[in-house]
Amino acid sequence: MKSTRLKAAVAALSIAVVAMGATPATAGKTVNSKVKITKLSAKGAGGVVKSKKSKCVKRRTVLLKFVDDYSVTTIGKDKTNRRGVWAVKEPLNDGIYFAKAKKKKVDNLRCRAATSNDKTL
């Protein structure tokens, strides 16, 4: 009787250890990204997303944000093309802007979110 309980406990423990050990392996690789504003004018803004993995560059959602005295407002958003180029064609007022690339998961790859440096119009 004790040997059956012992076998069951060992089996349960080994299943738990295997399950815990398998989790990080299936989580996938995490890759850094960069987003940059290359153009900023009264007619809109544009830029590029860069990463070591091309899957983290294409079809990435980028938000253009405006910094007010006490808040941050999203002005517009766009998806990058296959080369990582994005553009928001909205009329812009004078002020401080930055871009944010949202995080993305593709297959077994995790692309980290990225925020650009501030640009002044």
Task: Specify if 5 maps to a domain.
Answer: no
Task: Specify if 35 maps to a domain.
Answer: yes
| Pairing of β 44-51 and β 104-106 | unpaired
Q: pLDDT tens, 21-66?
A: 444 444 689 999 999 999 999 999 999 999 999 999 999 999 999 9
Task: Specify if 6 maps to a domain.
Answer: no
Number of H helices, E strands in the chain: 1, 11
Looking at the DSSP bridge assignments, the partners of residue 64 are 76, 99
Task: Specify if 11 maps to a domain.
Answer: no
How high is the pLDDT of residue 23? 45
| 3-state SS class at 26 | helix
The domain tally of the chain equals 1
* Higher local confidence (pLDDT), 92 or 6: 92
Which domain covers residue 91, as residue numbers?
29-120
Give the CATH number of the domain where residue 35 resides.
2.60.40.10
Structure tokens at 24: 């990080």
Q: pLDDT tens, 73-98?
A: 999 999 999 999 999 999 999 999 99
Task: Specify if 16 maps to a domain.
Answer: no
Task: Specify if 75 maps to a domain.
Answer: yes
How high is the pLDDT of residue 11? 54
Task: Specify if 64 maps to a domain.
Answer: yes
Question: Do 33 and 49 contact (CB within 8 A), yes or no?
Answer: yes
Task: Specify if 96 maps to a domain.
Answer: yes
